Amino acid sequence: MVDDDVVILTMMSRLLKSKGIDAFPASSAVQALELLKKQIPDLILSDFVMPDMDGFKFRQILLKDPQLRDIPFVFLTSQNDNSNAAKALEMMAIDYIDKNTPINLVVNKLVNILISIQKQHEQSLYEIGAAAKALNLRSVPDNLPRFSDFRLEYLHQTFENYLGGDFVDFIETGNGQTFLFIGDVMGKKWGAWFFSFNFLSYIRSAIRFCIFEAELSTQAIVSKINRVLNHDPVLQNVLSTLSLILIDHKNGKITYTGAGDMPLLLFKSNERKLTEVRSGGLLLGALPEGMFDQQEFIMEKGDILLAFTDGMTDCKVNGEAKTNYLGFVDRLRKYFDEEDPFEEMKEKLMDDHICESVIDDRSLLYIEKL
Amino acid sequence: MIQTELKYDYCLVKITEKQANLENAEEFKLLMNEVIADGNKLIVLDLAEVVYVDSTFLSAMIAVLKMTMSHGGDLAVWNLNDDIANLFSLIRLDRAIKVYKELPTKFAGITVN
């Protein structure tokens, strides 16, 4: 809200707050531009006539900034003449409100505009989601396969209903082995989601080719995927994490290669201890020589292996985003004493925040030796 | 968003944002492109003011590493807070980008020593 009349600003702020809307008042366009560096609002309301920089100049500056130009903009003025109205609408303002309108009506109008923006936004998300579903574009499976020797589960939560860059999938070799993988295309919301399909296709094809050639080394597979990605002009500068896990059902052996992923967490049932399984590989697409290695270990009855994306560890604390890996691991520890650790995680982990809010989509892969 | 200073044999680039994220990653890449185009091949990023780096900004840092490498240079980082240093180690970014605890008098990175 930008107006050099502090009385109007204060009154409107109070009224908006009483309707559950946070208003950020600025007494000049210069001050508003400073505020916009820290906070992106759902709507901007600005007076026309102000000293130093008027509403038109302010709007012109916003229109030149790709991050600010699409924020819905409403002009407020007492100079209610037709030429100003036309000028306002030419500058892609969504509305023009006469300052002489009683203030409670102005506030009601703003509330209605905000509600309709929110509805449009939800509708767009719903339509894109529906289109993705119709095209069978999914980055997580409906279910993971059931086995008598391993229990496989996953958790996945989108961020503010946007489909994001996280992906989870599996491939059965048909020869007593199962590949499981989880990853996160770096970036946020739609951009990351779009690229997650390219990554998923590469990963699935590389695994399939290696199965045909009886090459079941996770290190070789991840190295091949990385080599291809480093030559792909479309995916240049798009990076992804990957945890590739191969389960051998004959002997309970796990083979794992990671690419820039969070360490796996292994709960050893007989020792009641949670340990990290670290891999040396860099992010997929980072450098042609990805420094990939391969970890191998046996899972015993009751052991649980977890792989997860960084959305599980990042959150907002006191309004600031933070990485809190250690806090996340600490929180996990208590679930292993429960009768069904996965059900506890499913029920509590996604809501049991040690922070104010999550900031990315988040996924977790759960592997339990039965 | 950045301040540059020539120091010893490298260019020290201070990131003046608390949140290095999706919103400023693209601008960072463009500005770093100019720094490299000005002939600076060895670059140390100073993250003293940065509280959090999201995955989009990490991607931008790797893009900058690649830019320096294509000019025969290298990228290192300095002044990481504990969370960011831990993240670099967790996802092995410290194997591609050298993390300094103290500023060196001569650049020593991973690809350029």
Per-residue pLDDT of A238-271, as tens digits, reads 899 999 999 999 999 999 999 999 999 999 999 9
Instruction: Give CA–CA dist A335/A349, Å, rounded.
Output: 9
Chain-chain contact of A325 with B59 (C-beta, under 8 angstroms): no
A212, with CB counted inside 10 A (0-12, 13-18, 19+), is exposed
B51 compared with A196, residue with greater pLDDT = B51
What's residue B29's pLDDT? 93
B3: confidence class by pLDDT, cuts 50, 70, 90: very high
Residue A310: its chain B contacts at CB < 8 A?
55, 91
A residues 307-326 closer than 8 Å to B (CB): 310, 314, 320-326
Chain-chain contact of B55 with A260 (C-beta, under 8 angstroms): no
Judge whether residue B76 has pLDDT over 80.
yes
Chain-chain contact of B93 with A261 (C-beta, under 8 angstroms): no
What's the order of all strands across the beta sheet hosting A320-323? Answer: A320-323, A314-317, A357-358
Chain-chain contact of A321 with B54 (C-beta, under 8 angstroms): yes
Report whether B88 contacts B97 (CB < 8 A): yes
Calculate what percentage of chain A has a pLDDT beyond 70: 91
Residue B53: its chain A contacts at CB < 8 A?
323
Chain-chain contact of B95 with A282 (C-beta, under 8 angstroms): yes
Helix then strand then coil, % of chain A, to nearest 5: 35, 25, 40
Chain-chain contact of A187 with B56 (C-beta, under 8 angstroms): yes
Please tell me the distance in Å from B101's CA to the nearest CA on chain A. 20
Instruction: Give CA–CA dist A357/A364, Å, rounded.
Output: 18
Q: Give the count of beta carbons closer than 10 Å to the beta carbon of residue B46.
A: 22
Average pLDDT over residues B88-98: 94
Instruction: Give CA–CA dist A177/A298, Å, rounded.
Output: 14
Tens-place pLDDT, residues A212-242: 998 889 999 999 999 988 888 877 778 999 9
Asked if the C-beta of B1 comes within 8 angstroms of chain A's C-beta atoms, the answer is no
B74 compared with A69, residue with greater pLDDT = B74
Q: Is ipTM > 0.95 here?
A: no
A155: confidence class by pLDDT, cuts 50, 70, 90: very high
Calculate what percentage of chain A has a pLDDT beyond 90: 44
B56: confidence class by pLDDT, cuts 50, 70, 90: confident
What's residue B87's pLDDT? 92
What's residue B20's pLDDT? 93
What's residue A339's pLDDT? 93
SS3 B102: coil
What's residue A51's pLDDT? 86
Judge whether residue A162 has pLDDT over 70.
no
What's the order of all strands across the beta sheet hosting A44-47? Answer: A44-47, A73-77, A95-98
| A304-308 and A264-268 beta bridge pairing | antiparallel
What's residue A30's pLDDT? 93
B93: confidence class by pLDDT, cuts 50, 70, 90: very high
Judge whether residue A127 has pLDDT over 80.
no
What chain B residue is nearest to A327 in terms of C-alpha separation?
B83
B89: confidence class by pLDDT, cuts 50, 70, 90: very high
Q: Is the pTM of this model over 0.95?
A: no
A residues 260-289 closer than 8 Å to B (CB): 260-263, 279-283, 286-287
Please tell me the distance in Å from A170's CA to the nearest CA on chain B. 23
Q: What is the mean pLDDT of chain A?
A: 87
Judge whether residue B81 has pLDDT over 90.
yes
Tens-place pLDDT, residues A21-46: 888 999 999 999 998 887 889 899 99
The phi, psi pair for A72, rounded to 5°, reads -55, 135
Candidate from B52, B66, B92 with C-beta closest to A260: B92
Please tell me the distance in Å from A8's CA to the nearest CA on chain B. 32
Tens-place pLDDT, residues A176-195: 999 999 999 887 556 677 78
Judge whether residue A354 has pLDDT over 70.
no
Instruction: Give CA–CA dist A318/B65, Å, rounded.
Output: 32
Instruction: Give CA–CA dist A12/A104, Å, rounded.
Output: 8
Judge whether residue A355 has pLDDT over 70.
no
What's residue B82's pLDDT? 92
Chain-chain contact of A238 with B19 (C-beta, under 8 angstroms): no
Tens-place pLDDT, residues A98-116: 878 888 888 888 888 888 8
Chain-chain contact of B52 with A320 (C-beta, under 8 angstroms): yes
Instruction: Give CA–CA dist A35/A26, Å, rounded.
Output: 8
CA-nearest of B100, B80, B87, B51 to A260 is: B87
What chain A residue is nearest to B88 in terms of C-alpha separation?
A260
Tens-place pLDDT, residues A315-351: 777 777 778 898 889 989 989 999 999 999 988 877 6
What chain B residue is nearest to A237 in terms of C-alpha separation?
B63
